[in-house]
Amino acid sequence: MKSEAVVDVKAVGEMRRQMDLKDMKQDVELKGFVMFKQTMLWVLPVPEKVWERICELGNGFEGDGVDIGKDGGYVF
């Protein structure tokens, strides 16, 4: 039985470091995340710990309240 749903998706900011799906799949802390076991990408809930790890790998995202200085250091 197929089911369909409509969802609203809103970008919260662009990652500071571009993330490659291959790199995320190889990350030990992200092993087992259901999105990586599917043959197609789906819109699905992302557990908070998974989201935090993805943000960590991507050096955070624009709009997260952390600024990166010209030298690459964090400015709070």
The pLDDT assigned to 27 comes to: 92
Asked if residue 39 is part of any domain, the answer here is yes
User: What's the whole-number mean pLDDT along residues 68-75?
Assistant: 55
Domain carrying residue 26: 15-59
Tokens of 43: 């819109």
Q: Distance (Å, rounded) from C-alpha 9 to C-alpha 33?
A: 20
pLDDT tens-place string over residues 26-59: 999 998 888 888 777 677 888 899 988 988 898 8
Q: Indicate whether 6 belongs to any domain.
A: no
- The structural domain count of the chain equals 1
Instruction: Check if the beta carbon of residue 30 is closer than 8 Å to that of residue 52.
Output: no
- Is 38 inside a domain boundary? yes
Looking at per-residue pLDDT, the higher value among 56 and 61 belongs to 56
Looking at per-residue pLDDT, the higher value among 76 and 73 belongs to 73
Tell me how far apart the alpha carbons of residues 53 and 32 are, in angstroms, rounded to a whole number: 13
3-state DSSP helix/strand/coil percent for the chain, to nearest 5? 30, 10, 60
User: CA neighbours within 13 Å on the CB side: how many for 50?
Assistant: 13
Residue 40 lies in a domain: yes
Q: What is the mean pLDDT of the chain?
A: 79
Give the pLDDT confidence score for residue 75 in this predicted structure: 47
